[in-house]
Amino acid sequence: MERIGDGVGLAQGPSPNAQGTHVSVVNLEQRERLARREMWAERLARAKETLESYVASTRYPPQSRSIRDHPDQVVLAEPERTRPLSREHTDVQLRLKQDRVFVVGDEVVLFSVSCEDAHRAPRPCEVLSATAREADHMPGAGGMPAVPVAFTDDGAAGDALAGDGVFTGRFQPSKQGFPLYSGTLRVDAQVRSGRAEGSAFLDILYTPTPPAVLTGKVREVVEDGSLSLYLGIEVRKAGRYVVAGRLDDERGEPFAHVSFNEELKEGAREVKLSVFGKLVLDDAPTFPLQLRDVEGFLLKESGDPDRELMATQRGYLHTTQVYPSSVFSPSEWQGEQRLRYIDEYQRQVDEAQRQYDSTFEGPSEKRP
């Protein structure tokens, strides 16, 4: 007891500072716990999103995908680009096009050059000269002489319309100085528009002799709930081959991109292009399906270029039979790598869930 003033006794209690310290500690612990909860809630959401996204994006195998996953592969590559005529004349744009990038054997590539302004209105144009040569980055470049390539606007030799201002060049490497060359070839063009002059280049990848040839024969089999297309191929050089094709539905609408990436031995072989069952059921294309624009190459272990090209089979190569949906499997792809990644992403979800749950004091505390 403590006597104060007139002798009234007061009981000794906890000091105000002690009470404040206790409250502060409790509030600090709550804030830290809430901060951890918020952090782990965000991590849990991200982990779940990653898992769900991966599961959805890998439900089909890499070799059999919707054409929506390959928007740049709907058609064969026919590059087109614009660039200023020169640094001094940026008001004039060159439009450069070519009907193919990959050239094999005796194949011919067509180039076109035209001039336009910033609004794509035609400008006067003339290709003064053009030459084909080895690209600078190729090993030993410069060892072969450049050869002239004629560009004309006369409606002949591949030129679509005479006098339209679009100059077309026709180049056949096997007959124009590069019969044994393998690698990138560059066509340099000197162009004039009015009084302005400039230059541009166009590249191709050339293989003089294909390492394998597709025979044109296709065998189709429904197996394991999917449609397999076996393409006949005569392999001249053994190794790892990459082959890809496009599938359209009955109406010609692009449906799928299918590919093959495996080792092949020399001789008569088959390349398997698989149309995955679940993809067929999910997208429901109208049968028969039509296989078109099949291209491929032999992948080289080292060197530049890193591949030897096969001749591309342009246009429709095969039309399938009509199949009922009942022959296709609704199961998702269960590749070893996919299962391993799903297990790892699920482990991350479980750990984030455990950490998130630990931020609650007990079962009585409300959870969202």
Whether 353 shows a pLDDT value over 70: the answer reads yes
- Find the helix packing angle between 16-57 and 336-357, rounded to 10°: 160
Residue from 225, 228, 203, 226 nearest 318 by CA: 228
Per CATH, 91-207 and 210-327 having the same topology is answered yes
| CATH number for the segment(s) 91-207 | 2.60.40.1930
Domain map of the chain by residue range?
A: 14-59+338-368, 91-207, 210-327
Between strands 239-248 and 313-319, the pairing is unpaired
What is the overall mean pLDDT for the chain? Answer: 91
The torsion angle over the Cα atoms of residues 275, 276, 280 and 285, rounded to 10 degrees, is -20
Instruction: Determine the pLDDT at residue 138.
Output: 79
In the chain, what percentage of residues exceed pLDDT 70?
A: 90
Per-residue pLDDT band for 304 (boundaries 50, 70, 90) equals confident
- Give the pTM: 0.82
Whether 18 shows a pLDDT value over 60: the answer reads no
Whether 27 shows a pLDDT value over 60: the answer reads yes
Per-residue pLDDT band for 25 (boundaries 50, 70, 90) equals low
For 277-301, the DSSP string reads: HHHHHHH-PPSSPEEEEEEEEEEPS
Which tens digit of pLDDT belongs to each residue from 173-191?
A: 999 999 999 999 999 999 9
Whether 16 shows a pLDDT value over 60: the answer reads no
Q: Domain 210-327, what fold?
A: Immunoglobulin-like (2.60.40)
